[in-house]
Amino acid sequence: MDRLSPQGYLGIHLTTSLLFLIAISWLFGGIAEDVVNGDPIIFIDKNIVEWLHERTTPGMSTLMQLITDLGSGYWVAGVSVLTAIILWWKRCWYRLLALVLVVPGGMVMAIILKIAFHRSRPSFNDSMMIFQGYSFPSGHTMAATLLYGVLAVFAVTALKSWRWRVLTVISVMVMILLVGFSRMYLSAHYLSDVLGATAAGLAWLVLCITAVDTLRRYRDHPG
């Protein structure tokens, strides 16, 4: 119990992380349960995606496609590899380990979740774009949550000014929200797909960051 106390070497940081992990995992579980059981969120999903579909325009769809690419596999892989090279060059081994666990590991989890829930995507006869694969959770939204989330953690720990830290967090939140909204606008996903992906991505991010930080603290202060 001493190690979980504020005076322990893990202290309040680990305790807070674990509580947040439990809370965000509970949120994902609630969303997933609603999707499986066909609870009211399903009707909200359909109403929102139908409302957006009726108001799509070619110009807005082009803009949303550009935004949605910020969560695409090619973009996320490219940014991740570039970041990994920089971290390797600077010998930031713990951050490199965190990046490898968060992004590739999280995307593997996203694939497993999609297969497990095998939810069909929104379908419209006059859709301008056709998407393959399952719907829940949103892969693009989860990828954005994982990549920009871990980059935000790196930035926040490196920045000394609270103003820049807050600006970084807000910017990342807006970017993730935009990617999620673009997926709904393009009729690729439902709201619950986006919310579930964000929750799952945050849970995995917190788990990996906490594990790496715990390893670092243990190796720096063994025993």
Closest CA to 46 of 119, 111, 110: 119
Four-CA torsion 69, 74, 80, 84, nearest 10 degrees:
-150
* Strand boundaries in the chain, DSSP class E: none
d(CA 78, CA 138): 20
Please, are residues 180 and 62 in contact by the beta-carbon 8 Å criterion? Answer: no
How confident is the prediction along the chain (223 residues), in pLDDT tens digits per residue? 444 444 444 556 677 888 888 999 999 999 999 888 877 788 899 999 999 988 888 899 999 999 999 999 999 999 999 999 999 999 999 999 999 999 999 999 999 999 999 998 888 776 666 778 899 999 999 999 999 999 999 999 988 889 999 999 999 999 999 999 999 999 899 999 999 999 999 999 999 999 998 888 777 665 5
What pTM does this model have? Answer: 0.88
The pLDDT score that the predictor gives to residue 5 is 42
3-state secondary structure of 121: coil
Q: What is the pLDDT of residue 42?
A: 85
